[in-house]
């Protein structure tokens, strides 16, 4: 079976990196189509591998260079590129990951070309169609031939929506497998020495969603909540946080240190050593759960419902007092939640077994 894997966002790279060797060993012919440019992350090619975000993976065969813009602009450019690619290459299936606009574009383009779609991370739902990624998730599921779900909740969501159970495979969380494999090689770090914080005990922040960065009142509330904590907060500047703060005229509290963007291994080190994590990132919610670090999510809703259910994560509104109270409680309570089912080292094996059973076209 020949597979084209669509990869774009950082979480895609993290999830696909450990899966690609397993697919190759199983006899699948896999080519990666990266929606960015070869120059975007300045990849360092070496022996057929490339390093993105500090993660090594098979060098993509195609760099589509769709650029950045509004979600509609990115999706439109990606559809044009994927339509051309699938028409030329005619793979046996298209493998898409996650819920970004380029993922939707790849899935729709493949389906229109009569190419079966396999969706990794299928079935996640937050229940709010005002969230752009929720729209993407719902639409992708309509054109998917094989749904690879990370949780039982996701499997049940798809069945409730009328998806044929024969098309659903509960494989587990590929990001969790990647975290487990990479965490073995990540050394401890001295946060106070590296970033000048007053204490080595710290809270890690990560914010990138327009829901927060694009709303000055929410962003100000988050900063106020973090600034009232008794320990310092370290926040990598992901997706223009510092710029958003400057544009809104929001001062960074003295207890908060904004640092340059970090590699994936460094992010894992920070997540593992933090007393708690405060975020709006779906992937960081999964990573902190896997690393046994309590998480507080500042959003109206989350698709990572399993992390809420097992008490690894708390969903809170953007109010300073509520954020501070939730973080304090998270730090004080021991991380004793159960590991979600199939968040382990064998996810890639289950993906391989699912693909070996064959991908049945929708029609």
* Spatial distance between the Cα atoms of 186 and 234, rounded to a whole number of angstroms: 18
- Specify the fold of 191-332: Rossmann fold (3.40.50)
- What is the rounded average pLDDT of the residues 178-207? 88
Reply yes or no on whether the pLDDT at 42 is more than 60: no
**What single string gives the DSSP state of each residue in 16-46?**
HHHHHHHHHHTT-EEEEEESS-TTTS----B
pLDDT digits (tens, 9 = 90+) for 213-271: 999 999 999 999 999 999 999 999 988 999 999 999 999 999 999 999 999 999 999 99
- What is the rounded average pLDDT of the residues 304-311? 97
Q: Which helix (H) or strand (E) holds 301?
A: none
User: What token pair was written down for 219?
Assistant: 């962003």
- Percent with pLDDT over 90 in the chain: 81
Reply yes or no on whether the pLDDT at 124 is more than 80: yes
Please report, for residues 74, 83, 124, 283, 330, the alpha-carbon distance to residue 304 in angstroms, rounded to integers and kept in the order given: 25, 31, 7, 9, 17
Reply yes or no on whether the pLDDT at 47 is more than 60: no
| Mean pLDDT of all residues belonging to the chain | 93
Domain spanning 2-172+344-356, CATH architecture: 3-Layer(aba) Sandwich (3.40)
- What is the rounded average pLDDT of the residues 29-48? 71
Contact (CB, 8 A) for 269 and 187: yes
pLDDT digits (tens, 9 = 90+) for 133-173: 999 999 999 999 999 999 999 999 999 999 999 999 999 99
Determine which of 46-50, 64-68, 89-93, 155-159 has the lowest per-residue pLDDT on average: 46-50
Residues of the chain with CATH 3.40.50.2000: 2-172+344-356, 191-332
Reply yes or no on whether the pLDDT at 54 is more than 60: yes
Give the pLDDT confidence score for residue 67 in this predicted structure.
Answer: 82
Contact (CB, 8 A) for 97 and 103: yes
Q: Which residue has the higher pLDDT, 200 or 312?
A: 312
**What single string gives the DSSP state of each residue in 318-339?**
S-HHHHHHHHHHHHHS---PPP
């Amino acid at each position: 079976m020949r597979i084209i894997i669509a990869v774009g966002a950082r979480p895609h790279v993290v999830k696909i990196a450990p899966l690609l060797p397993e697919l190759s060993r199983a006899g699948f012919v896999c080519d990666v189509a990266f929606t960015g440019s070869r120059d975007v992350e300045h990849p360092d090619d070496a022996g057929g591998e490339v390093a993105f975000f500090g993660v090594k993976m098979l060098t993509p065969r195609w760099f589509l260079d769709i650029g950045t813009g509004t979600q509609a602009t990115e999706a439109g450019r990606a559809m044009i590129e994927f339509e051309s690619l699938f028409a030329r290459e005619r793979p046996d299936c298209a493998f898409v990951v996650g819920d970004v606009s380029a993922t939707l574009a790849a899935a729709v383009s493949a389906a229109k070309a009569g190419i079966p779609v396999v969706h990794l991370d299928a079935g996640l739902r937050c229940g709010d169609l005002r969230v752009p990624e929720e729209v993407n998730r719902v639409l992708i599921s309509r054109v998917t031939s094989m749904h690879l779900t990370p949780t039982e909740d996701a499997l049940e969501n798809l069945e409730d929506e009328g998806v044929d159970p024969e098309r659903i495979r509960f494989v587990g969380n590929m990001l969790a497998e990647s975290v487990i494999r990479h965490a073995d090689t990540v050394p401890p770090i001295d946060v106070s020495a590296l970033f000048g914080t007053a204490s080595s005990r710290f809270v890690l922040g990560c914010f990138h969603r327009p829901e927060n960065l694009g709303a000055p009142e929410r962003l100000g509330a988050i900063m106020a909540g973090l600034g009232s904590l008794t320990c310092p907060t370290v926040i990598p500047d992901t997706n223009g946080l510092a710029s958003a703060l400057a544009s809104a005229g929001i001062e960074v509290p003295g207890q908060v240190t904004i640092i340059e963007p970090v590699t994936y291994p460094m992010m894992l080190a920070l997540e593992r050593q933090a007393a708690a994590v405060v975020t709006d990132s779906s992937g960081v919610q999964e990573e902190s759960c896997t690393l046994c670090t309590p998480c507080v999510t500042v959003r109206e809703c989350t698709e990572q419902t399993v992390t809420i259910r097992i008490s690894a994560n708390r969903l809170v509104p953007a109010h300073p007092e509520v954020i501070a109270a939730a973080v304090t409680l998270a730090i004080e309570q021991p991380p004793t939640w159960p590991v979600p089912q199939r968040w382990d080292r064998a996810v890639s094996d289950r993906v391989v077994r699912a693909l070996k059973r064959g991908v049945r076209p929708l029609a």
